[in-house]
Structure 1
């Protein structure tokens, strides 16, 4: 099947469908089933007080297969121990004193060829089996890690972090491919190596101790190096985990980072982490360089010691014996200096990864409810499907309880509402009921399946319809009922392909309100028995919220048991019961009417409990911006129409280039490390190194011949004065040989050091360029490229550049120069030997061309196939609680296995092509040995010096494996260089304008906050249609402007244009300064923003408030106290230095919002944009925010993003945008006097609310 694939690849680019179809033994589901049988035994041992071992489980699963691989491995190594004997016998035939006949010479040649063909035939099946087992280990552990992820609670995930999980999958799993390839050679090689040492002893006796001493010293040295490497790898992986973890946050939160102008802070953080990572990468590279150099020069050292010692003991040293020793030493070196140390090193590195994986697989996971135990202790009937008894909950063992001693039951088909201050435990209660918290005491029991709607909408990268169906069968009637109940009908009409529109990763083509409605529709379509709804109404407009509440929650789901977390108290009148939480405890459980008499939350005036008047108590008039999100509206969705597939899919996929990697990338790679001149000097050193090695070999062959001739002429008696070569004494000859050898060894170490430094330095420079490019690229890139795709550049591709490319580069350069040097030396010795070399070279070149075509395409398919794996993992981690609540874990595991199996297809094809190439390369090398050996035998007697004939034969046998290894390493290098190619591609992403300009305004700008738009048009990208068209208006100093309009009108684009997230056309002026011409850092630093979805990053609270260390502790504490977060932070163990978990998971959304408000207070800018800061907070927190705005931002132009018209009715003026144009702009009262857009929007809120809004507008107008 590979021959067919090679033919296809020579004619066209390979597609996934062309690749190897996986057999059952390679499929992830079969492997996982077998793995579970062995792993469960280990877990049973652990349950009985023992220690579970992942290694033992893998040995039982794959050990037999590895033992069987030892058979072909032993045969191939036996061939390597036999052919040196035939070399000695054949070389002896060329001695002038030889009595061997031509027939004997031919028989020795035939023996040599047969032993080599045995190596060729049996070596590659052994390697293929090892690689395949490595692939199976990688697949089964990858699947096990992902499955384990599906069982981890939210608290455990926040401690482990997404970055660590992705790094395990991206880097740790690769170590098993390397560890298994020589595993069977570890013990078989040791046996054959000992046999070779015995043969060596029979050849040169006690002088073989010189070889053994060098061998022991070198093995000890490389073992020490391996231990250092293992230690350095642990440190390297620690910093790699940290970098990937932070990069995941940066990629996800890039919009916020840009609006806060925090690029410099994150760049500094990543730079510090990367410096530590690169420091260990350099050490790993240098240690590897020393190890490889020792392997490379050890044969020469062994030969020198053995031959010199043998000769100095007065023994007769003929050329045949010398080159038998030479060939034996090469074999001994290959086993003890390459195969065994390489195995030990790879096993050590893999053991580190195995320990990390084992720790992960043994981490605490959520346990399913013990229904039998619950049955004994519950007093539940069909009428009470939820019961909680004495429930307390902790996020971790060390933390204080989030929920304290809760006890209540919920009746069937009733609506229970949960209210309470920010951080009171409302969301924690819901995810506890989902079984997503592992540390609790007490009991809870839920009858029936659960539909869960999280506070932040979770959308998968698929069509809108599939997001709603979520694996359920399509039922047209039921589906349309859900669409109507969730107010999605008009949205489907606006989307380019209706419900078959591909919404992209995280739903990037949908607005925030649309995402939440799709999120709710998924739950409604699921048709669960119990619904847990975590404040889904806050993310949508007031009229849409009313529709969702009446038509979906109290309509379509009326006959379901429902728990609704909300801050919108006006909806609670129809709730059957209301639970009031405060500081994790139940304060009240009662009806709305009774709670009005009991709870302070419900004791405020009625107008504060209605959407019409909940802002009446606010005494400040500030600007409200009425919109769904600052991201994407209908117009933007429509703008993708020319850049989509049949499903409206516009999300960028992994780009699969064709053809060979351009030499430009190689040049850039080398030059980026050292520069042009140092790179040229390095190349000269490389050639000088190889020249010195060949000159040393030539000198040795001449000396050995002269040594033999002198010995024979003196009847085998050697004295200091009997050997004269080039008029030098024997000691001088030995001295020259030792000197040449010393120079060669020094140059080999220097060459390896240069290559090691070059590889890591180039990686460092390219990764820096990549990071700067990602940091400086336009926000449109993050909206269209899946996060897994971008993260893959920073994980797998950077790991390739840090680690694998340098390793392949060392071997490729040394092997190419070795082949070139040996061919040139052979040609100089006897030009006739070029005939078999040229004859074999032609098929070698054809073979490499075919192999490169195939391996390059397959490797690119393999790289492209890995991105869906990481994207799937990232999506899973973002919505882990949600997918578990729908019982979708098995389906997501199957989808993951599908992605993994597609990747394994390309990987198995790739390693098969390697073995195919290796077999044919070795076969051609064997033919070359046969051609050279028979050619030498055919030469007239005495036409070639015995030493030079021996050198030619040795060189030809050396090419066995070296040529194959060179083709492989050069091909692997080219395949690995596709990582450089992909990184280079991302360094050329479209960039924003400069951060800094020489004409930037002074630091006190702006003083007044005046904003002016002059004929401003705006598109989210150059190739997309305009979403703002000829906007012209002026906002006065400290003026409060509300901006309203329907979904897709262009409201968010107005904000994007002010931050220059894409470059606007026309002019925008702030305090008479044209912002189009100033640096982005200056502009964005001058505008404060509080986003709708508050974002916190990994690091300390201090770092999240003040990433540039501009403020002292007193200022930070003052800001925290002003947003009433000071008391909470002061009780944390490390206060301002307390760590923030990934994505701020250890803070509630309301607390995150208050921290964002504290950021704005610290910046003290004259322009503030607030993106519905009160959407996800209770009324008490809302009051804190409004009071803070009134007290701290009175002298600012404040723009607040909101969903409720009641929050913009008190503005100085209201701007109405429709289809990207301003259609109305005046005070609310004036606009309500005409039959315009704003008047229609108010009328659509309903009779009672419309009357209240008009009344408020009139009151503010006459104030």
Structure 2
């Protein structure tokens, strides 16, 4: 940035030197060579060099900046164009052929790491469930079928269109509806069916704008469950023959999982090929085929019979009661008389949930924005000094232009006197009357004195002009550097303030603001402030004082020139066009102008005036536009900051006791997400939290990421640990292992465990049940299970875990 900044200053300096000093040297060289100057020559050269200054000082730096941006863009685009490409896809998406997926001895390497090894798999109908331990290759199998992972060896054949729902929900900034449609043609009936089977209607009723609610970057303004269901709905809405669903039900409550599995996967996709990756044991008995992955290989494949259950028991669960648990869960589902959809609807909230959307300001940029910008640049005194420099510089330039006029007039007077004197002497030599000649001696001497005075005046004028040229050039360099340095300091200080404010912002700011909007302040807006605003400021000041200087010079020649200028400026300010009538008026007034020098002065100034005023109005508009970037950046320098004051307590917390007294939490003063919480947690207690209704490392699976996060928590050795769905993507074996690890490493800690898998919290000291931000139940698990009408009892009963504690 600094190199480009000083390069532009250098080019502006060159422009100033070429326009002022270059013109002076050229004219003086012409005189020193013995040629006499005239008005046409001087003012023609002056106008040419003023155009040259615009080219060298403005057009060329602007062009170099755009050329640098173009080069940078070409380099980035070229990297994308030359990136390694996937091989051409095999198979066909022709819907008329019988759908088919077939892998024959397929092996896949990613960066010398085996993700699939010797996989043979075939399906042409029905629901296939893929399960296995963490990192066993389940997601890699789906990505290989998608042909996102190229085969190292083996064959792959697919017939039919493929739709895919990723394990980590992918959402883009647009409405929920557009996230579901994803460019597909809108079909009202199909859309409503997809919304219903994905249990989204309840959530739409919560939002103020329903499915027109804008989703933020990566869907951060939605819950994990909402993200997962919208991600699933996008895949289901697309008309395909093959549906690949990568653990799309993990982030959902148990009863929502069951509803979507029955209504969406079993019924709505019953005539399709569907491959579902999941760790949910209750669904194994209801699928057509089960594929068990282990260490990048298919360990077992077949119908969900006793053999498959035994393999799952050995590799995944290692739980002698797995078969019993599956049967109990299946029984509980069959005995459920009430439909899941009605369950979702009965607890629907009446109030609408408001989701953040950026507010676009309208109208002119407030003066307060300019005021803050000036303060960041060095204050109003510094800006006043710069304005004075611009004024004095323009004064010296205008005065030097006026001196050119005087010099031309003085030289013209010298030439006239010299011509008249030569003619007078020749006349005296031709006459025979000596007495007349003697009588003319006095007149001859006065003629010589006038000629000498004229020459002295011409010499004084050109010397004074030389001084003004040097002064205006030096002042031009100083005022240009002063303004650009002022803008540079403002940019640096704004960036520092913005960075500090964002880093110390309260967490609710990041929960409710789009990450793209935040990044845009640091990219596009700061780029405008860094690169464009300084030169727009410089041009606005230069043009404003230049127009003022031109008007002043024209007024010194004839005050009537102010009338057409006033009309001209008013029209351009309001309409920014229609200046030709004014130009003609100025032409008509040319004949009324004290000498040849003044005529040349007015002509050159008039020719520049039209361009200057138009350019000035345009720069004025650009300045207003660019100041919106300052406005946007300053908006984020005033966000609420985290509290950093107070004394630091050594070894805090020492015990880990927690007490909530009438705690209420809101996001952006909208809905209450927590309401009047009152509870106490004793040191070392383990608390399970469950909610009734609504809860990047690309080279690692989601389960592996969770393992890394848990390891980080173990290493920190804190007194209070919060586990928010820490094992959601784990297989049962790893899940059980992790709970043993948690018990061992966090035995002296106060632990909060938030989980959809209820067995994760059944062994906690107490269970906290939340519904719509309020505490509904809080007691030890056995006490809660004694209340058969309680929320917790019903949830445990539905999950088939009533006998788990016994």
Coarse TM-score class (shorter-chain normalised): 0.7 to 0.9
- The correspondence for 2:321, drawn from 582, 607, 617, is 607
What is the 5 A alignment of 1:486-525? 486-488=198-200, 491=203, 506-507=218-219, 510-525=222-237
In the other structure, the counterpart of 1:657 is 362
Match of 1:387 among 102, 110, 122: 102
Q: Which has the larger radius of gyration?
A: 2
| Cα distance in 2, alignment partners of residues 605 and 561 from structure 1 | 31
Cα distance in 2 for partners of 1:574, 1:465 equals: 31
Matched, 1:844 2:569: yes
User: How much does 1:1203 deviate?
Assistant: 0.3
Is the 8 Å Cα contact of residues 815 and 966 (structure 1) preserved in structure 2? yes
Report the Cα distance in structure 2 between the residues aligned to 1:501 and 1:323, rounded to whole angstroms.
Answer: 65
Task: Give the TM-score normalised by structure 1.
Answer: 0.55
Aligned residue number for residue 678 of structure 2: 1032
> What is the CA-CA distance between 1:431 and the residue it aligns to?
2.2
Q: 2:609 is matched with which residue? A: 959
Are 1:934 and 2:646 matched, yes or no?
no
- In structure 1, the partner of 2:407 is 703
* Whole-Å separation in 1 of the counterparts to 2:157 and 2:30: 84
SS at match of 2:271: coil
- Distance 1:793-1:436 versus aligned 2 partners, 3 A rule: same
Note if contact 2:126-2:273 (Cα within 8 Å) is conserved in structure 1. yes
Q: 1:311 to 1:638 in 2, by over 3 A?
A: farther
User: Of 256, 263, 268, which aligns to 1:544?
Assistant: 256
In structure 1, what is the Cα distance between the partners aligned to 2:609 and 2:517? 41
Aligned counterpart, 1:568: 280
Q: What is the alpha-carbon distance in structure 2 between the residues aligned to residue 369 and residue 1162 of structure 1? A: 45
3-state DSSP class of the match of 2:315?
Answer: coil
Residue deviations 1:898-917 (CA, integer Å, cap 9, x gap): xxxxxxxxxxxxxxxxxxx3
Q: Is the Cα contact below 8 Å between 2:758 and 2:796 reproduced in 1?
A: no
1:978 aligned partner: 628
Is 2:766 aligned against 1:1213? yes
State the secondary structure of the residue aligned to 2:250: helix
Shift of 1:1181: 3.5
Query: Structure 2 matches for 1:826-905, cutoff 5 A?
Result: 826-827=554-555, 829-830=556-557, 832=558, 834-850=559-575
Please list every run of 5 or more consecutive structure 1 residues that lacks an aligned counterpart in the other structure.
1-279, 376-380, 615-632, 644-649, 851-916, 1053-1142
Alpha-carbon distance, 1:973 to partner? 1.0
* Bigger helix fraction: 1
Report which structure shows greater RCO (CA 8 Å, sep ≥6): 1
Write out per-residue CA displacement over residues 105-164 of structure 1, whole angstroms, 9 at most, x where no aligned residue. xxxxxxxxxxxxxxxxxxxxxxxxxxxxxxxxxxxxxxxxxxxxxxxxxxxxxxxxxxxx
- Residue in structure 2 matched with residue 416 of structure 1 by the alignment: 128
Q: Secondary structure at the match of 1:537?
A: coil
| Alpha-carbon shift at residue 610 of structure 1 (Å) | 7.4
The DSSP-based 3-state class of the residue aligned with 1:419 is strand
**Which residues of 2 match residues 217-366 of structure 1 at below 5 A?**
280=1, 282-331=2-51, 339=59, 343=63, 346-366=66-86
Moved more, 302-311 or 343-352: 343-352
After superposition, the Cα gap between the structure-2 partners of 1:716 and 1:542, relative to the gap in structure 1 and judged at 3 Å, is farther
User: Contact 2:512 / 2:667 at 8 angstroms: preserved in 1?
Assistant: no
Listed one character per residue, the Cα deviations across residues 960-1009 of structure 1 (whole Å, up to 9, x for unaligned) are 311111111111111211222222333334x1442x1133x414100111
Deviation digits for residues 1052-1077 of structure 1 (CA, Å, limit 9, x no counterpart): 7xxxxxxxxxxxxxxxxxxxxxxxxx
User: How far did residue 769 of structure 1 move?
Assistant: 3.2
Contact 1:535 1:565 in 2 (8 A): yes
- Matching residue of 2:467: 739
Match of 2:483 in 1: 755
In the alignment of these two chains, the number of paired residues is: 760
Superposition deviation, residue 1199 in structure 1: 0.6
Q: Distance in 2 between matches of 1:343 and 1:1177?
A: 57
Q: For the Cα contact (< 8 Å) 2:787–2:793, is it kept in 1?
A: no
Aligned residues of 2:411 and 2:458 also touching (Cα < 8 A)? no
Distance 1:1208 1:772 in 2: 40
Contact 2:99 2:273 in 1 (8 A): no
Aligned to 1:1170: 723
Contact 1:387–1:409 (Cα < 8 Å) also in 2:
yes
Deviation (angstroms), 1:500:
6.6
1:504–1:980 Cα change, 3 Å: closer
Deviation of 1:781 (Å): 4.4
Change (3 A) 1:849 1:1159: farther
Q: Identify which range, 383-392 or 499-508, moves more after superposition.
A: 499-508
Does 2:145 match 1:594? no
Q: Distance in 1 between matches of 2:365 and 2:141?
A: 55
For residues 934-981 of structure 1, the C-alpha deviation after alignment (integer angstroms, 9 at most, x for no partner) is 324135xxxx14333322322222213111111111111112112222
Q: 2:371 aligns with which of 643, 667, 679?
A: 667
Q: Secondary structure at the match of 1:579?
A: strand
Q: For each residue in 1:1097-1147, what CA deviation from the matched residue of structure 2 results, as whole angstroms up to 9, or x when unmatched? A: xxxxxxxxxxxxxxxxxxxxxxxxxxxxxxxxxxxxxxxxxxxxxx22222
Provide the C-alpha distance between the structure 2 equivalents of 1:681 and 1:482, rounded to a whole number of angstroms: 67
Q: Which residue of 1 aligns with 2:430?
A: none
Query: Does structure 2 retain, via aligned residues, the 8 Å contact 1:402–1:428?
Result: no
Change (3 A) 1:754 1:321: same
Listed as ranges, the gaps of 5+ residues in structure 2 are 329-344, 423-447
- Indicate the SS of the match to 1:1251: coil
Structure 1 residues 50-83: Cα deviation after superposition (integer angstroms, max 9, x where no partner): xxxxxxxxxxxxxxxxxxxxxxxxxxxxxxxxxx
- Segment of structure 1 superposing worse, 678-687 or 514-523: 514-523
**Match among 784, 790, 793 for residue 521 of structure 2:** 793
